[in-house]
Chains A and B, each alone.
Chain A
Amino acid sequence: MVILESVATFVTDPAKMLIVVVSFLFAISTLLAWKKYSKPALLYAHLIFVLSPIFYFALSINCSLSVIRGLLSWCTALFAKFIIYILPPLMAFVFVSGIFIIPKLYKRRGKQLHFGWFSELCSKAGVSARLYLLDKAKPEAFALGESIFVSVGMFEILSREELEAVLLHELHHVKSNSSWNKFSAVFVRLFSPIAWFSSDSVEEDELAADEFACRFQKSNIHLKSAKRKVELF
């Protein structure tokens, strides 16, 4: 039972358990700090603090498969091997996909639009962004980095003022780089069990974007009307 002995040695070592407890405390405090300040760096710090004790534990297990005895030993060894060999490449894959591959795929699917009125809107809002059209009837609009994607359906059901309200909302996301914040929140939630239980601070990004649009148009009528029409679809 070499594996269970490794586990027992780990949990009964005060120094090791102190490291684990301190790491988890830092993990919780960085998560709380992120909720207050919305800085993605805090999320990644949280992830490091959550995963460090887990890696430390996995590395301390003597998990040669030839010495496995019993189901509990087998499970522990598998867990350790997953943490050391599978988790890091999996995280890297998800991160690279989210940052580079998915936006590229959307840009390939979409058609870049060069509308004078959009350039003017960007200029007045003080934001530089590119507009892409998605061939979808369902009204959708979202920002990824410096690109805004809008479906054909959005153009069809909204008036010009309503569409401008939606685009101003998305331009605020571009300006505040909140798509990076959203992606970071999703990414960290995937790999941190503690983050599963926290609520989003991205709601504040949405409220700020709404406020930006309404302030720019000096009214909330168009944004409200746009949201109502989109909900009806």
Chain B
Amino acid sequence: MKEKVADFDSLLSPLEGDVLKILWPDKKMLVREIHTKLKSKVALSSVAVILDRLYDKQIVAREVETARGGARYIYYPTQDKNAFEKSVIDKTVNQLIKAFGPNAVSYFNERFRKR
């Protein structure tokens, strides 16, 4: 049970959520630009780590730009906010059913019946 509950932590951390809110909708931004816009005071390298994690999760994509004697990533979301929320809900529901089986299914049935 403990292992199954821990799966939910893998969805999004608060900082990942903040970064995505800045990138939506369909913005293409540099790490430094996102860092400037973030309200919480985190190091630039932390923002770079967050974006790399989001890239590994395929929530954002990136391109390499070499210009002005340097190189950087331009990040952009792979889905719009609605599509992303739907995929999160879908994943969450699947995880609940996997963790709690029939109890989860009957809970959803009751809940939707009341609506």
Task: Please list the residues of chain A having a beta carbon within 8 angstroms of any beta carbon in chain B.
Answer: 111, 113, 115-118, 133, 135, 137-139, 152-153, 155-157, 229-230, 232-233
17 CB contacts below 8 A, A to B, read A113-B71, A133-B66, A137-B49, A137-B51, A139-B45, A152-B71, A153-B48, A155-B70, A155-B72, A156-B31, A156-B32, A156-B44, A156-B48, A156-B72, A229-B43, A232-B43, A233-B48
Is B45 in contact with A232, judged by CB distance below 8 angstroms? yes
Q: Does B48 contact A137, Cβ atoms closer than 8 Å? A: yes
Q: In the docked arrangement, what's the CA distance between A211 and B61, Å?
A: 39
A-B contact count (CB 8 A): 50
Of the candidates B49, B69, B72, the one whose C-beta lies within 8 Å of that of A233 is B49
List residues of chain B with CB under 8 Å of any chain A CB. Answer: 31-32, 43-46, 48-49, 51-52, 55, 64, 66, 69-73
A113 CB contacts on chain B under 8 angstroms: 66, 71
By DSSP majority rule, is chain B's interface helix, strand, loop, or mixed? helix
Give the secondary structure class of A's interface.
helix
When chains A and B are docked, how far (Å) is the Cα of A230 from the Cα of B69?
A: 20
Closest Cβ of chain B to A157, distance in Å, is 5
**CB-defined contacts of B55 to chain A, threshold 8 Å:** 137
In the assembled complex, the Cα of A156 lies from the Cα of B46 at a distance in Å of 12
**How many angstroms from the CA of A156 to the CA of B31 in the assembled complex?**
7
| Of B31, B64, B70, most A-chain CB atoms within 10 Å | B70
In angstroms, Cα B43 to Cα A138, docked, is 15
> Which of B46, B51, B52, B71 lies in contact with A155, CB distance below 8 A?
B71
Picked from B44, B48, B64, the residue with its CB within 8 Å of the CB of A133 is B64
Contacts A137-B52, A232-B43, A232-B45 hold; do A156 and B64 have CB atoms under 8 A apart?
Answer: no
Bound state CA distance, A233 and B43, in angstroms? 10
Q: Are B66 and A111 in contact (CB under 8 A)?
A: yes
Of B44, B46, B66, B73, which one neighbours A137 at CB under 8 angstroms? B73
Which of B31, B52, B66, B69 contacts A138 (CB under 8 A)?
A: B52
Q: Are A135 and B49 in contact, with the CB atoms below 8 A?
A: no
Min distance, Cβ A116 to any Cβ of chain B, angstroms: 7
A133 & B52 in contact (Cβ 8 Å cutoff): no
Contacts of B31 in A (CB 8 A): 156-157
